[in-house]
Amino acid sequence: MTDPDPAQSPLFDQLQQTLSQQGLPPNCFDWGQQLLQRLDRPVQVMVIGQPGSGKSTVINMMLGQSVICRHGAAAIPAPIIEICYGPEARIEIETPDGRTSWHPGTLAQAALPPDAVRLRQELPDTRLQGHSFVEISLSGSAEQNHNTLQRAARHADVILWCSEAFTPAEQALWAAVPDAKKDHSFLVLTMADRQIMRGTLTSLLAGLDGFAAEQFLGVYPLAAVQAITAQTAGQSVNAQLWQSSGGRQLARDVLKQVELGRASDVDQAEMLVRQFAPKVADQQWRRTETAPKPAPLPQNTPTDDLLHTTLDLLQARAHQMLAETEGAANADAILATCMDTVRELSKTLLASQNTAPQVQAALDGAQDGEELLILCQLERGEDAAVDAVTLLLQLKREIADDISQ
């Protein structure tokens, strides 16, 4: 099920038109095709782990309802389960012979064949128009699990690795995942309540600290059952239990990654359209972008003027990099330009001695960006260059949003 919004977006149509031109540089065409595919589907959140690691419970928690059952008579046999948007609750079942069938209701209610190889649950939950969940169970040999994980990682936008203790065998398996995917991944310790009762959670977290800091965005101890109870036991969410269970923090950070992933795709698509769109489409795009906003302020403040100066700097450097990519793009040159831009941005903001919250937020963003760009320069290559440009575009967007606030 594709996200219905992108196909209605002027940017999606303009990117399609841009890619239909003759003479587009091959690397830009390939990049644009990948962006088009990502914009035409929800952000993929992969929930991965061994059997019994709490994957289904985590998805139920994120959905705020019990959709998947892994225990008892209703236990689900399939190694792959997709949860996505649909106009009504229904299930698609695929069997080993490739046949599929549709059934009303949810997975927790249905009688499922034991030989199902893939299950697709559609739900009329509008949140799933922007992202979907895919549960992957690693139940084979070490080699099979490695291959399954690599295939899943290629299609994932965000990954949640679920585990009770994240054993050395799991660590070895995870270590082979591409670094670009690790930057959007979470380690979820799904049975934190048991660890607390045993008195082992603190030592477990201490033992994972070094490895997890390099391999994941963060480690999230989660009492998943309590997190579900916090959302479903009463007429309203039990805020205290929702927070103490670890569910609130995990859900918030996962959704933030979903939003950042979509924003990154949009930023990159806008950059391609700016550079290569046909003249008519480009004019249409610019008219859409520069449409007057409601109730503008009558004049800029000194803080606005400073932020406009930083926006001009970011815009000028963006045009410079776009001009440099008309031929064969040089990833190292792009990374160097991005680093120079962020450093000059920090210097400009520091020299102003302006203590307004918007300026301090921009300065913090620039300084954090410099640290991320150092990592990009260590990784090098086209992916690192794309990440660097995306970071500049995100800074530009955040500064523009802060003007006159």
| 180 and 202 Cβ atoms separated by less than 8 Å | no
The mean per-residue pLDDT over the stretch 46-62 comes to 93
What is the structure's pLDDT at 311?
75
Q: How far apart are CA 268 and CA 386, in angstroms?
A: 8
Contacts of 14 (CB under 8 A, 6+ apart): 273, 277, 281, 284, 285
Statement: residue 163 has pLDDT above 60: yes
Cβ distance 285 to 11 under 8 Å?
yes
Cα(284)–Cα(262) distance, rounded to whole angstroms?
A: 22
pLDDT for residue 352 is more than 90: no
- The structural architecture, per CATH, of the domain 43-258 is 3-Layer(aba) Sandwich (3.40)
What average pLDDT is seen over the chain?
81
Number of Cβ within 10 Å of residue 381's Cβ equals: 13
The string of pLDDT tens digits covering residues 369-398 is: 777 777 776 667 777 777 777 777 777 777
CB atoms within 10 A of CB 145: 19
Nearest-angstrom CA–CA distance, 331 and 323: 14
Are 15 and 35 in contact by the 8 Å Cβ rule? The answer is yes
* C-alpha distance from residue 77 to each of 52, 92, 249, 348 (Å): 12, 14, 30, 59
What pLDDT does 166 receive? 94
Look at 140 and 306; give whichever has higher pLDDT: 140
Residue 303 · residue 356 · CB < 8 Å: yes
